[in-house]
């Protein structure tokens, strides 16, 4: 870890080798640079590199971690999404149980990484996505992803932390307020929540401008009472549609059933293999 830390300071590469994705030409298929979601223009005080509203202590801890440097090998959006699917099982900034009591929340003062804990894999992946510079279509695909609620949660965090114009938040989030796709915030059943109930406006996230916060609270109250003055469409227009629909929910249920069945088969095979290994050992 010390070598990584030294490299991040002395090579002038706080991105750890991670680079912006390649964009297609305007007349070609693929991500287009003109479609990139504008991100906040906040630099960290150590390197002057983009900080994306990530707490400085957490940001430096991520940069010191080997996994962040290894992610440089993943150069496409699809590769990173696959990695999130296999690796992310919680969405807290720090690995659960490692964040010290002397530091409270993401916005705690900088006291040194040793007092903070171990940066969580979700936020490591989130920084990777920030450095890729996602397009609106790519962000939409995160929010609707049928295979993992953690991929979807990271998509919402991408917007909640990094969006340049917070006035867009409501348009992005509104279609998912009633979404009952469940996940565990810290990986345990005690923190079970749903996509629709995920606390996007909690005190561990950057504070929203007062006017934007009031507008969102007003819209949330109207939505809770069944009153709405606008159709549920995502920000950015084009290719978006109305967000999460009945077909998506049904497809998600089928995917989860297929995954549960596959996991059951894997457990059975492992048990059978262990029994045969034990028999072979006795011989």
Domain presence at residue 184: yes
- Report the pLDDT value the prediction gives residue 66, as an integer from 0 to 100: 94
**How many domains does one find in the chain?**
1
Residues above pLDDT 70, as percent of the chain: 72
Domain presence at residue 140: yes
Sorting pLDDT into bands at 50, 70 and 90, what band is 207? confident
Domain presence at residue 1: no
More confident residue, 112 or 86: 86
- Report the pLDDT value the prediction gives residue 71, as an integer from 0 to 100: 97
Domain that holds residue 156: 33-98+112-244
- Report the pLDDT value the prediction gives residue 189, as an integer from 0 to 100: 93
Q: Is the pLDDT of residue 218 over 60?
A: yes
- Report the pLDDT value the prediction gives residue 9, as an integer from 0 to 100: 47
- Report the pLDDT value the prediction gives residue 156, as an integer from 0 to 100: 95
In tens, the pLDDT along 152-177 reads: 999 999 999 999 998 899 999 989 98
- The least confident of 40-44, 113-117, 274-278 is 113-117
In tens, the pLDDT along 226-269 reads: 665 565 566 654 433 334 444 545 555 555 565 566 666 667 77
Instruction: 7-16: list long-range contacts, CB under 8 Å, 24+ apart.
Output: 8/47, 8/63, 8/64, 9/46, 9/47, 12/47, 14/44, 14/46, 14/47, 14/49, 14/63, 15/49, 15/131, 16/63, 16/68, 16/69, 16/71, 16/72
The 8-class DSSP code of residue 35 comes to G
- Report the pLDDT value the prediction gives residue 107, as an integer from 0 to 100: 39
| Residue 116 region by backbone torsions, left for phi larger than 0, else alpha for psi between -120 and 50, else beta | alpha
- Report the pLDDT value the prediction gives residue 224, as an integer from 0 to 100: 67
Domain presence at residue 181: yes
Domain presence at residue 92: yes
- Report the pLDDT value the prediction gives residue 2, as an integer from 0 to 100: 52
Domain presence at residue 137: yes
Quickly count: other Cβ atoms within 10 Å of residue 63's Cβ.
26
In tens, the pLDDT along 87-137 reads: 999 999 999 988 764 444 443 433 334 456 899 999 999 999 999 999 999
208: helix, strand or coil: coil
Averaged over 27-44, what is the pLDDT? 94
As a three-state string, the secondary structure of 18-33 is CCCCCCCCCCCCCCCH
Domain presence at residue 5: no
Domain presence at residue 271: no
């Amino acid at each position: 870890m010390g070598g990584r830390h030294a490299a991040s300071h002395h090579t002038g590469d706080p991105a750890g080798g991670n680079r912006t994705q390649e964009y297609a030409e305007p007349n070609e298929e693929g991500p287009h640079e003109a479609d990139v979601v504008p991100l906040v223009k906040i630099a960290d005080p150590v390197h002057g590199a983009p900080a994306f509203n990530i707490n400085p202590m957490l940001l430096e801890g991520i940069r010191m971690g080997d996994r962040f440097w290894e992610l440089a090998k993943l150069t496409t959006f699809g590769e990173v999404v696959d990695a999130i699917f296999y690796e992310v099982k919680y969405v807290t900034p720090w690995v659960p149980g490692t964040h010290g009591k002397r530091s409270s929340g993401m916005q705690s003062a900088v006291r040194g990484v040793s007092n903070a804990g171990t940066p969580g894999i979700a936020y490591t992946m989130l920084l990777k996505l920030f450095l890729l510079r996602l397009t609106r279509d790519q962000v939409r695909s995160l929010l609707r992803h049928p295979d993992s609620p953690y991929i979807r949660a990271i998509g919402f965090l991408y917007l909640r932390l990094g969006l340049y114009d917070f006035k867009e938040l409501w348009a992005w989030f509104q279609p998912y307020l009633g979404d009952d796709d469940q996940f565990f915030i810290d990986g345990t059943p005690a923190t079970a929540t749903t996509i629709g109930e995920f606390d996007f406006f909690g005190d561990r996230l950057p504070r929203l401008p007062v006017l934007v916060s009031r507008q969102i609270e007003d819209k949330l109250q109207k939505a809770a009472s069944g009153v709405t003055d606008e159709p549920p469409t995502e920000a950015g227009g084009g290719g978006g549609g109305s967000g999460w629909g009945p077909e998506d929910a049904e497809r998600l249920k089928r995917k989860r059933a297929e995954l549960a069945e596959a996991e059951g088969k894997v457990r059975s095979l492992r048990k059978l293999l262990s029994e045969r290994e034990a028999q072979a050992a006795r011989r």
